[in-house]
Amino acid sequence: MSFPQNILVAVDLGEHTKALLDYATELSTKLGVRAHLLHSVDWPLLGAELPSVISDAAMDAIKERKRRELAGLAAAYPGVLQAGSAMLREGDPRAVIPATAVELGADLIVMGTHGRRGFSRLMLGSVAESVARTASCPVLLVRVEHGAGSATSARAQAEPPA
């Protein structure tokens, strides 16, 4: 088995995104490869989480805000991320992430996991677990803890190979 040459970094744009990207940056640099950045927006889930009905215009505004945030992240990591590789896709991330990996020919997916257990895992499910089970390539899960949003804390949970 050879080292990955094409990495897909899937982010949720949450509080731990920078820590995950810092980790993926270190990994990509050590391997001498560049990566693609992906965020998946699940509209039905988003609508269920908000207390009111979302109009198409409001959904477009949310999508545009996420697109700008993703572009800002890509601009902050120009030496590691493929030019123009910040992708915003619609759909359930459990399906979108593995499908995008196949489309790009990715041979590694890097993504965060919150390590939820018990009731919260039962109610929220585990995107990371589903992707790890269904992806056609290896999946590296970087454990991100609540209140531990620094790159140091992400590295402490999953140290890249030397």
- Per-10-residue mean pLDDT of the chain, 162 residues long, equals 88 90 92 92 58 70 91 87 82 95 95 66 68 94 65 44 43
Report d(CA 110, CA 23) in Å as an integer.
Answer: 9
* CA geometry: angle 149, 162, 114, nearest 5 deg: 25
Of 18, 23, 19, the residue nearest 7 (C-alpha): 23
Q: What does pTM read for this prediction? A: 0.79
Per-residue pLDDT, 14: 87
CA distance 105 to 111: 17
Residues 112/11, Cβ–Cβ less than 8 Å: yes
User: Architecture of domain 13-157 in CATH?
Assistant: 3-Layer(aba) Sandwich (3.40)
pLDDT of residue 99: 98
In this prediction, residue 39 carries a pLDDT of: 95
Q: What is the pLDDT of residue 43?
A: 65
Task: Supply φ then ψ for residue 48, to 5 degrees.
Answer: -70, -25
